[in-house]
Amino acid sequence: MATIDAHTLAVTGNEAVAEAMRQIDPDVVAAYPITPQTEIVQIFAQFVADGKVDTEFITAESEHSALSAAIGAAAGGARTMTATSSQGFALMWEVLYIAASYRLPLVMTTVNRALSGPINIHCDHSDTMGGRDTGWVQLYGEDHQEAYDNCLQAVRIAEHDDVKLPVMGMLDGYVISGAIGPLQMLTDDQAQAFIGPYRPVHPLLDTKHPVTVGPFDGLHGFYFEHKVSQNRAMDRALGVIQEIADEYAELSGRSYGLVDDYRMDDADIAIVVVGSTAGTTRMVVDQLREGGVKAGMVRVRVFRPFPVKAFVEALKGAKVVGVLDRADSFGAQGGPVFLEVRAALYDSDPRPQVLPFIYGLGGRDIFPDNIEQAFAALQKAAKAKRRTSTERRYLNLRED
């Protein structure tokens, strides 16, 4: 995505996010360090210490506390951000739901890392994929540039009147967070003008209009209605995300869709993938195309809300679709992205075959070879007379 010119910076993914946070200059950041996210809050804490931001930085004693403090700050009326990874994300579990159900427009960067056990610090998506039903909007970035761009857009999405939901922006642990890559930034003024001022709804600190946040639902029970209200906000978020991406494109020259498709126009076989592996997949698609294979790729940018129409449109005409999941859903029919994509294509006519692939768990490398193997399986399925088994296929697994 990133263009390389005299204005291009060489930064780690974490630096890119920290720079976005500096430009946003949130009122409050409450965070707890965890590998591989630590660098984000470490750099940001330095910005606070150096007076480069006016943020109140709360060093919490755990991620549960960090998100709880962030929720309190957001309920108070502050533009609030945090960041986490893996076990920290898991420790936030119950409060993730609280943030979403209170309709607080928090923005959190989650650097994807495997969940224990065995204890593992490397990249996979099991942390945030597990949190896909918490009511947060989920944006999955591919590279350094998108980690930065998504962070700025997340503020606008979360605070939009039609949405008012927390947004988490993801980047792959180490592959992006720790590796150096190119980044083009808006100027500080451009970034501030883009995000605009924050106008909270019913802030607790507006003492002239006292309100109660987080009351008991009562014996009458309106929980059901509130859940439906959350889901309606999710539905509206789809349009808002695209609207804001278009506005951002005019400003930055970098355009984003709900999905990011590559050479899909006449593709017979396609791979759906999340995060940094899209880069490798594009390269393999190009190689296959050179060999006359009509291959394509669709990258998931927005996973919650799930853009069904965008997937159906992008995958139209594909005979076989392989979904590469970097997280598994134990006991389910496949990984979380597979389940969504397969369900989305159920009403397509003709209905393509959708095959589940699991790769990269606990940071297991994914090489071009492995993606070629996946495409080979799709090609074989496309030629087969009978429908192919939808049992999981594992890429770069050591078989016994």
Partner 1 sequence: MSAEEKAAAEKPAPARKRAAAAKPAARSKAGAKASTKPAAARTKAPARKARAAKPRGAKSAKPKWDISDLDTWGPDRHELGATIPEAGNSVYNETGGWRTFVPEIDSAKCDGCMLCYFYCPDASIKIEGGKAVGVDLEHCKGCGICAKECPRDAITMKLDEKE
Residues found near partner 1 in the complex (CB under 8 A):
101-104, 164, 201-202, 209-215, 217, 219-220, 222, 225-226, 228-229, 232
Q: Which is nearer to partner 1, 210 or 350 (CB)?
A: 210
Smallest distance from partner 1 to CB 319, Å? 40
Smallest distance from partner 1 to CB 325, Å? 32
Alpha carbons 32 and 132: distance in angstroms, whole number:
22
Q: Which is nearer to partner 1, 214 or 368 (CB)?
A: 214
Q: Which is nearer to partner 1, 201 or 205 (CB)?
A: 201
Alpha carbons 385 and 381: distance in angstroms, whole number:
8
Q: Which is nearer to partner 1, 220 or 383 (CB)?
A: 220
Alpha carbons 364 and 5: distance in angstroms, whole number:
33
Using the CB atoms, write b or e for 387-396: b if 16+ within 10 Å. Answer: ebeeebbebe
Q: Which helix or strand (DSSP H or E) is residue 251 part of?
A: helix 223-252
Smallest distance from partner 1 to CB 193, Å? 26
Q: What is the DSSP string of 111-130?
A: EE-PPSSS---S--SHHHHH
Smallest distance from partner 1 to CB 238, Å? 18
Q: Which of 302, 340, 301 is nearest to 321 (CA)?
A: 340
Smallest distance from partner 1 to CB 246, Å? 26
2-5: long-range pairs with CB below 8 Å, 24+ = 2/143, 2/144, 2/145, 2/181, 2/182, 2/183, 2/184, 3/182, 3/184, 3/253, 4/182, 5/184
Q: Which is nearer to partner 1, 68 or 101 (CB)?
A: 101
Smallest distance from partner 1 to CB 236, Å? 11
Q: Which is nearer to partner 1, 117 or 210 (CB)?
A: 210
